[in-house]
Amino acid sequence: MESQTLEHTQPLVLAQEPRNPGMNLDLDWVASVQANTSAIERRCATLPARRSVKKEHQAAWLLKAVTCIDLTTLSGDDTEERVRRLCAKARQPLRGDILQALDMPAITTGAVCVYHDMVPAAVKALTGSGIPVAAVSTGFPAGLSPFHLRVAEIGESVKAGAKEIDIVISRRHVLAGNWQALYDEMKAFRTACGEAHVKAILATGELGSLRNVARASVICMMAGADFIKTSTGKESVNATLPVSLVMIRAIRDYYDRTGFRVGYKPAGGISKAKDALVYLSLIKEELGDRWLQPDLFRFGASSLLNDIERQLEHHTTGAYSASYRHASA
């Protein structure tokens, strides 16, 4: 990973990225998509060992990672008070003394992600912050509720103030190779989102093969997805480097062919600062610096922020503190 100093983590003024409008379904393109599993795994095995940043450069990259986190709570025992505390953490993800020691201005996380019922509480808590609320939708996490209810759920979350909608696809369409059905489903979800950006969750751990992951990625982008996302976080296998490489290269191919940038969101199982650094290096090498901004890259995580804050405190003080001193909410 290229050396970088702390000032590079400050927000950049970016031109408004045009949304991916999608395109007609191109089954010839889909059929041509392949995945060389052994080559993909070899490439990914080299990343953690040869990509290392130290000292102030590591601190800079960790600060960048914070701005790309979708701070998330998706538990059955979620309450409005828990969501309000999470939103307060999103507004100020790092302690003031750490930012002061790093000579950094205030930063925020990329978004807060919640279930539909918690959207109004999150919107109210984040008013004036500029932090968007993301809602999981379409029968999350399995996506097996009736289709008209999944579409209606999107509309209700948008009406409640969600600016981003994380939808789940029907895995059966991928497993059966029914690409037309997947395209039609994704297009209907995109239409229901209106102005809200849509992240398509592929649930990659349930798709059977890396080739299926690659083809599902292309189909969702053809249907207008603004982001493609690995997992719900509820599967037995969530974000992995091989899956990420496949999805990132699908994004690169889509950009090369259409000129539209689609975002990427690994989710589930990313809880350590060192893992965040590996994902950031993968994005930089495969897609370039433009994708290292929160409008095109997010971590779907909750505990990741705790470890990043702990590592940054170590950077500024030379000592590790107990993890309980860095609660998410």
Question: Which residues carry out catalysis?
Answer: 166, 229, 265
- 3-class DSSP assignment, residue 152: helix
The answer to whether 110 and 141 are in contact (CB under 8 A) is no
Strands 164-168 and 133-136: parallel
Which residue type is seen at 308? I
Beta bridge partners of 228: 200, 264
Q: Closest Cα partner for 220 from 238, 245, 202?
A: 202
For residue 232, the 8-state DSSP code is -
76 contacts: CB under 8 Å, gap ≥ 6 = none
The pair phi, psi for residue 69, each rounded to 5°, is -90, 130
Q: Report the alpha-carbon distance of residue 258 to residue 41 in Å, rounded.
A: 28
* Dihedral class, residue 231 (left if φ above 0, else alpha if ψ from -120 to 50, else beta): beta
Strands 111-114 and 133-136: parallel
Q: Which residue has the tokens 């003024």?
A: 13
For residue 16, the 8-state DSSP code is P
